[in-house]
Amino acid sequence: MNINPDQIVFWTKKVALFGTEFTFNLNMTIVGTWLLMFLIFVGVHFATRGLTDGLKINRWQNLLETMVSFLKNEVEGTLQRKATVIFSLVASLFIFILVSNLSGVIPLPFYVPSTGEWAVYIPPTGSFSTTVGLMLLVMLSVPLFGIMRNGVGTYFKRYVEPQWIMLPFNIIGEFSSGASLAIRLYGNVMSGTVIVAILLILAPIFMPVVMQLFGLLTGVIQAYIFSTLALVYIVGGLGDPTLKEKQEWEASQEDAS
């Protein structure tokens, strides 16, 4: 039984490039990722098309505004400053990981044309390549936001503080922090898939239901943890907020209340 979406290949093609032959596999990781992105796009479109800026709003808009305000307060509360771009990144990571994790709770069957067999859907976050991609996105965002705010020299100076001898250790620490993001998310999603598969064999009626409910909880928790740690790493790259930034954020909080 497959426990990794990379192992479920729908279509394969060999391509010759610069005298070297490469094999392209259209696996469940790629298909699942694009399918989830499409569903998120469609869901956001229908969820926001009827929004209004008037005083009277419906219950659905009230729920959406509450969720967005909660996420924004969490992000800006950690940053201690206003940061729309960073909020958009962290919120997008949270939504994608959450939808991906929750999509694996229900074992949907998929037909695999390349083998003529049926396979059970495994979410993209169950692939190490997906979690590594998300990790790289975060680790590239850390220096990008840090350089945009502090400049190249000021940002990279942190790697040689307090002494030059700390340079290799600071670099290793940076990469190990990012690697822990990928391994933690991949390990939790994959372990959940394995446990459900084992329980399907040992107790095919009752235990899988309990594990699916448990999967709902862990899916939300893992999305929250990944997004929070990503935010913490970005905050480390930005440095402490200036007095002006903190005052602007506190003023926006007072206006909102």
pLDDT in tens, 210-234: 666 666 777 788 888 888 888 888 8
User: 208 or 122, which is more confident?
Assistant: 122
CA distance 57 to 52: 7
Looking at residue 34, its pLDDT comes to 92
Q: How many helices (H) and strands (E) does the chain have?
A: 8, 4
CA distance 67 to 89: 16
> How many domains are contained in the chain?
1
Q: What is the pLDDT of residues 129-167, one digit of tens each?
A: 888 888 888 888 888 888 888 888 887 887 777 777 878
Instruction: Using alpha carbons, select from 91, 101, 174 the residue that is nearest to residue 131.
Output: 101
Looking at residue 102, its pLDDT comes to 84
State the residue range of the domain holding 10: 5-256
| Radius of gyration of the chain, Cα coordinates, nearest whole angstrom | 22
User: 55 or 97, which is more confident?
Assistant: 97
Beta bridge partners of 27: 9
Beta carbons of 130 and 124 less than 8 angstroms apart: yes
CA distance 141 to 230: 9
